[in-house]
């Protein structure tokens, strides 16, 4: 791994510079790498942002929301790519990213939750998605620790999971396996490597984006620069004039718990519940842990002002009320949650956009630049598709299906060259 | 600080060997040190046991339980020592241990809680303790964030607090300030120092305890050995034959939270509540954090079998149900708790005895040995008194008031020399 200290005063040449080392950035980097391009992945805290918190549900069906049909198409495309993507990772010798085709059970707590889930099912069915109602007895035959007091259960076979922390580690290892000697990149050799630094600014030359200036000095010269650093994308220096990336943080609290041996498996399916109108999910991992999440807060609490200090800026404050709500609602669905060991409480901000769809594509008229951010709740699911779309764009192929995701759609004026 | 590696094959001489570096062990060590004795304090994870979790309430009045009058006398003795002890620490130049004379409010949630607290008040008053009922309006005039729905509030002016983590650090610095060069102790120089190793066994010579064998090799030769390692005391090798130390772990979950600036201070008093019969407390620190605790579990959960692995043996598994209960009940008393930032969830085991009183004193007939463990919920409060009692014992003075705490009271036979 090449550390930033080594790059000071040295220009590094790569075919592709990827800004941001979360799940999305890593998938893009690997896709570019295996298309034969040399890649530099820039992040001073790789995998520590939203990817660190993500539960990793690959859930186009349960994540369907009303009036997000454009997004659904991308989610289904992404979901369809996952099996091959995971197989390719394995074939390339990557460490296990925890990809599992665990089914999902959608569960309601009360009559209102049942109505909401059945209404959603109508929309899901209208979109050709499979959602099969089970009786409570059937659901409990599969998941014996489900509460008998639930109001409904629906099976969603197509919604699976991956472990985002393992996925980042897996992709990182693949990238570093291709890593050349530290010196060779300077002369433009092919390879993939990670730069542990922050991108300070886009680098412009002759009216196009020509790479990245690093925060600690040094530059990455690249034919293509891909902005995949989540919320930080909006504050990147040197974005095209007039390009408005309306990213806002939506915070989420997430818990990791260990299941005592006598309660294993707590659940075999991912359980996505609606408890008196509030969503909660339990994702079982193969190592005997479960992930419980689903809070969404637009307020960042005391982050940065708490007694604990700001910490890394990608870290958000864990909400006591959020943790309480997660434990309360998870227990309504699976009472034995109270007997688990709480291993970790984490919070992160996800980069949301006004229409909940990502900002993904080229900025018309600007060469050498691709934007890939704003994945909100769907970054892990969408990452392989986003990576394929970026690879296509670099090959000069633009798929009209993804025009609705264009990163300029919230910009009032046509973005111009470099902003001053 | 002398690390164990340096002690292998070297006998270290000290007047006093203290086994166990929690609050109790550190107080004993400092008391011995300032009485002019050289002291070796032995712990491979100092301050990381029950002391790491403790909230640090110095609460003889609210901690009064029915039929524990013997213990009450020791608690009042200890409480009376705290102001001078804290002043002595400051005079000695110790870092601030967070000693605060914050008053305590006892608060009930419902009518049953009110009855229970008023009944307890009768016992407290019968023992000469001051507990003054306030109207809910008066209580809320002092603590504006208290719920208006509480059933009662009582002021307990005598119950204060200290920060156990700071206290250990403070005492540790005092001890190391007295630390001699690493070599000089070997020849019996006076001083105080910390040995980062585990006590494997008591060392016997001529029918009396003559020090400690260390786990990684080497010995501490000491005129007096004080066993203050909490739960681990019962499994110490080489205890006198027939000495039964009936210590059992009682687990507790405890939360540390940051109060956002706009809610500070969340409370100015320590709030000890009874919520539908279940105790919960909120202890405000000067740094804008609060400590919330009170769970008591006799079951250790999946500790050691969880996916997270055992970790250090002094660390216990945090109970999801415990954390839920703490957040739920704290919100009943102070609804704004939901708006706090959860910094830390911790669990530890406290060393409990059948009568909830410590095992404190000499073993009759055995020279060179003092037992000081089993402090259960009261270790922090009792530590300075325990230290003074140990110092008196080493001076040959035995206070008959503490006979009821004698460590042999659960042993069927009169303890004999070394066990085989």
- A318/B338 Cβ within 8 A: no
pLDDT at A221 over 80: yes
pLDDT at A50 over 90: yes
Q: Is the peptide bond before A265 cis (omega within 30 degrees of 0)?
A: yes
Pairing mode of beta strands B199-205, B208-214: antiparallel
**pLDDT score for B203:** 97
- B301/A339 Cβ within 8 A: yes
Helix, coil or strand: residue A47: coil
Q: Using one digit for the tens of pLDDT, what is the confidence trace for A333-366?
A: 999 999 999 999 999 999 999 999 999 999 999 9
Nearest CA in chain A to B289: A307
Whether residue A179 contacts residue A191, with contact meaning beta carbons closer than 8 Å, is answered with yes
**pLDDT score for A189:** 43
Would you tell me the crossing angle of helices A379-394 and A23-34 to the nearest 10 degrees? 30
- Partnered with residue B219 across adjacent β-strands are B11, B213
**pLDDT score for B218:** 92
Average pLDDT of chain B is 91
Q: How many CA atoms lie less than 13 Å away from A369 in the CB half-sphere?
A: 32
Q: Which residues contact A91 (CB under 8 A, 6 or more apart)?
A: none
Q: Which of B258, B305, B323 sits opposite A323 (nearest CB)?
A: B323
Nearest CA in chain B to A338: B321
> B345 contacts in A (CB within 8 Å)?
342, 345
**pLDDT score for A314:** 56
Domain(s) labelled CATH 3.50.50.60 in chain B stretch across: 1-100+160-247+354-420
Q: Which residues contact B396 (CB under 8 A, 6 or more apart)?
A: none
Interchain CB contact of B290 with A (< 8 Å): no
Task: Return the CATH superfamily for domain B1-100+160-247+354-420.
Answer: FAD/NAD(P)-binding domain (3.50.50.60)
Q: Which of B255, B302, B324 sits opposite A328 (nearest CB)?
A: B324
How much is the average pLDDT of A164-186? Answer: 74
Question: Torsions phi, psi of A402, nearest 5?
Answer: -100, 15
**pLDDT score for B72:** 94
Instruction: Give me the residues of B, 86-145, that contact A with CB < 8 A.
Output: none
Q: Which residues contact B213 (CB under 8 A, 6 or more apart)?
A: B199, B200, B201, B202, B203, B219, B237, B238
> B334 contacts in A (CB within 8 Å)?
none
**pLDDT score for B192:** 78
Pairing mode of beta strands B219-227, B11-19: parallel
**pLDDT score for A306:** 41
Q: Measure in Å the smallest separation between the Cα of B255 and chain A Cα atoms.
A: 10
- A328/B319 Cβ within 8 A: no
Interchain CB contact of B307 with A (< 8 Å): yes
Q: Using one digit for the tens of pLDDT, what is the confidence trace for B59-74?
A: 999 999 888 888 999 9
Q: Using one digit for the tens of pLDDT, what is the confidence trace for B133-156?
A: 999 999 999 999 999 999 999 999
Given phi > 0 = left and psi -120 to 50 = alpha, else beta, which region is B242? left
Confidence category of residue A75, pLDDT binned at 50, 70, 90: very high
Q: With pLDDT > 70 as the criterion, what percentage of chain A qualifies?
A: 91
> B261 contacts in A (CB within 8 Å)?
302, 305
**Distances in whole angstroms, Cα of residue A302 to Cα of each of A104, A294, B264, B420:** 35, 20, 11, 58
Average pLDDT of chain A is 91
| Residue that wins the pLDDT comparison between B364 and A189 | B364
pLDDT at A419 over 60: no
> A266 contacts in B (CB within 8 Å)?
none
Q: Using one digit for the tens of pLDDT, what is the confidence trace for B226-236?
A: 999 999 999 99
Interchain CB contact of B260 with A (< 8 Å): yes
Helix, coil or strand: residue A59: coil
CA dihedral over B208, B211, B212, B217, signed as positive or negative: negative
Q: DSSP letter string over B335-396?
A: GGGGGSEEEEEEEEEEEE-TTSS-EEEE-TT-TTEEEEE--GGGHHHHHHHHHHHHHHHHTT
Q: Measure in Å the smallest separation between the Cα of A272 and chain B Cα atoms.
A: 19
Helices (H) then strands (E): counts for chain B: 8, 21
**pLDDT score for A186:** 41
Nearest CA in chain B to A336: B321
- B259/A341 Cβ within 8 A: no
- B260/A301 Cβ within 8 A: yes
How much is the average pLDDT of B102-112? Answer: 97
Which residue in A49, A38, A53, A52 sits closest to A2, CA to CA? A38
pLDDT at A85 over 50: yes
How much is the average pLDDT of B220-227? Answer: 97
Q: With pLDDT > 90 as the criterion, what percentage of chain A qualifies?
A: 83
**pLDDT score for B178:** 55
Tell me, what DSSP letter sits at residue B251?
E
pLDDT at A389 over 70: yes
- B345/A306 Cβ within 8 A: no
- B318/A258 Cβ within 8 A: no
Confidence category of residue A190, pLDDT binned at 50, 70, 90: low
Domain A104-157+248-352 has CATH 1.10.620.20: no
- A259/B341 Cβ within 8 A: no
How much is the average pLDDT of B92-100? Answer: 96
For A278-396, strand residue ranges (E) read: 278-284, 289-293, 341-352, 359-362, 369-373
Which residue in A129, A110, A114, A118 sits closest to A64, CA to CA? A129
Interchain CB contact of A9 with B (< 8 Å): no
Residue B194 and residue B10: Cα distance in Å, rounded?
Answer: 15
Q: Using one digit for the tens of pLDDT, what is the confidence trace for B279-334?
A: 999 999 999 999 999 888 887 775 444 433 333 345 799 999 999 999 999 999 99
pLDDT at B108 over 60: yes
**pLDDT score for B305:** 44
Q: Measure in Å the smallest separation between the Cα of A125 and chain B Cα atoms.
A: 37
How much is the average pLDDT of B199-219? Answer: 96
Confidence category of residue A188, pLDDT binned at 50, 70, 90: very low
| Residue that wins the pLDDT comparison between B176 and A231 | A231
**pLDDT score for A178:** 55
**pLDDT score for B419:** 55
Q: Which of B287, B303, B341 sits opposite A318 (nearest CB)?
A: B341
CA dihedral over A326, A330, A336, A342, signed as positive or negative: negative
Question: Torsions phi, psi of B391, nearest 5?
Answer: -65, -40
**pLDDT score for A70:** 85
- B341/A302 Cβ within 8 A: yes
pLDDT at A309 over 80: no
- A331/B342 Cβ within 8 A: no
Q: Measure in Å the smallest separation between the Cα of B346 and chain A Cα atoms.
A: 9
Residue A340 and residue B318: Cα distance in Å, rounded?
Answer: 8
**Distances in whole angstroms, Cα of residue A376 to Cα of each of A63, A314, A352, A369:** 12, 15, 5, 21
Which of A58-72, A263-277, B205-219 shows the lowest mean pLDDT across its residues? A58-72
pLDDT at A202 over 90: yes
Residue A183 and residue B68: Cα distance in Å, rounded?
Answer: 74
Residue among B261, B319, B334, B342 with most chain A CBs within 10 A, to mutate: B342
Q: With pLDDT > 70 as the criterion, what percentage of chain B qualifies?
A: 91
- A338/B324 Cβ within 8 A: yes
Given phi > 0 = left and psi -120 to 50 = alpha, else beta, which region is B317? beta
Interchain CB contact of A290 with B (< 8 Å): no
> A311 contacts in B (CB within 8 Å)?
none
- A323/B261 Cβ within 8 A: no
Residue B194 and residue B46: Cα distance in Å, rounded?
Answer: 9
**pLDDT score for A5:** 42
Cα first-last separation, chain B:
34
pLDDT at A177 over 90: no
Q: Using one digit for the tens of pLDDT, what is the confidence trace for B152-167?
A: 999 999 999 999 999 9
Per the structure block, which two tokens stand in for A266? 């707590």
Nearest CA in chain B to A329: B324
Residue B131 and residue B120: Cα distance in Å, rounded?
Answer: 10
**pLDDT score for B351:** 96
Q: Measure in Å the smallest separation between the Cα of A315 and chain B Cα atoms.
A: 12
């Amino acid at each position: 791994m090449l550390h930033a200290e080594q790059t000071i005063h040295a220009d590094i040449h790569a075919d592709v510079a990827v800004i941001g080392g979360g799940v999305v950035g890593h998938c893009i980097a690997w896709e570019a790498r295996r298309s034969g391009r040399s890649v530099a992945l820039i992040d001073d805290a790789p995998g520590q942002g939203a990817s660190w918190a993500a539960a990793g549900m690959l859930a186009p069906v349960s994540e369907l929301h009303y009036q997000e049909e454009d997004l659904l198409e991308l989610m289904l495309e992404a979901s369809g790519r996952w099996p091959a993507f995971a197989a390719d990772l394995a074939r390339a010798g990557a460490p296990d990213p925890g990809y599992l085709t665990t089914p999902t059970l959608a569960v309601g707590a009360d009559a209102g939750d049942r109505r909401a889930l059945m209404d959603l099912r109508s929309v899901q069915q209208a979109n050709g998605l499979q959602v099969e109602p089970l009786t409570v007895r059937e659901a409990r035959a599969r998941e014996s620790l489900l509460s008998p007091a639930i109001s409904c259960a629906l099976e969603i076979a197509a919604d699976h999971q991956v472990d985002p922390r393992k996925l980042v580690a897996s992709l990182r290892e693949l990238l570093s396996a291709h890593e050349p000697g530290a010196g060779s990149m300077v002369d433009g050799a092919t390879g993939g490597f990670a730069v542990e630094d922050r991108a300070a600014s886009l680098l412009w030359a002759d009216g196009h984006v020509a790479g990245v200036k690093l925060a600690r000095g040094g530059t990455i010269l690249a034919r293509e620069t891909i902005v995949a650093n989540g919320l930080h994308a909006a504050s990147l220096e040197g974005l095209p004039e007039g390009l408005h990336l309306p990213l806002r943080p939506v915070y989420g609290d997430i818990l990791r718990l260990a299941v005592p041996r006598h309660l294993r498996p707590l659940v075999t399916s991912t359980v996505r519940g609606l408890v008196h109108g509030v969503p909660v999910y339990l994702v079982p991992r193969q190592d005997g842990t479960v992930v419980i999440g689903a809070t969404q807060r637009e307020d960042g609490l005391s982050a940065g002002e708490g007694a604990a200090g700001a910490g890394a800026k990608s870290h958000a404050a864990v909400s006591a009320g959020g943790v309480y709500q997660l434990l309360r609602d998870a227990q309504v669905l699976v009472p034995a949650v109270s007997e688990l060991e709480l291993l970790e409480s984490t919070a992160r901000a996800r980069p949301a956009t006004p229409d909940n769809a990502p900002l993904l594509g080229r900025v018309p008229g600007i060469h050498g630049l691709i934007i890939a951010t704003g994945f909100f709740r769907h970054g892990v699911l969408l990452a392989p598709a986003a990576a394929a779309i970026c690879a296509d764009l670099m090959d000069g192929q633009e798929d009209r299906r993804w025009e609705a995701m264009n990163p300029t759609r919230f910009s009032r004026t046509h973005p111009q060259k470099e902003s001053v």
